[in-house]
Amino acid sequence: MNLTPASFAYRRTYNLGGGYSAEFVLNGASLSVRWSPDLPRGKTAKRLRASYRDARNRFLPRRPQSLPTATPAIASSPRPAFA
């Protein structure tokens, strides 16, 4: 088996309706979308917008409500430059 970086990408395909689907691929910090049969245009794109956004939101990982924040350590008294 030949493993490539692409084989580690997280991917999932969602049916959007009207014969369209979108495959989301998250590879590291890069997100790409592959449309099938092709990128919709005009009224079709407008009609699929809500389905696309729903699929994208389900695909992307959610940020936890509370993230620990790093606060810099503050010295109680400044250190002398030379002792």
Tens of pLDDT, residue by residue over 12-51, are 999 999 999 999 998 888 889 999 999 999 999 999 999 9
pTM of the model: 0.63
> Please, are residues 26 and 20 in contact by the beta-carbon 8 Å criterion?
no
Angle, CA of 54, 57 and 63, to the nearest 5°: 155
d(CA 44, CA 15): 14
Contact 3, 13 (CB under 8 A): no
Distance CA 63, CA 30 (A): 17
pLDDT(7) > 70: no
How far is the C-alpha of 33 from the C-alpha of 29, rounded, in Å? Answer: 14
Name the residue with higher pLDDT: 47 or 61.
47
* pLDDT at residue 10 in the model: 86
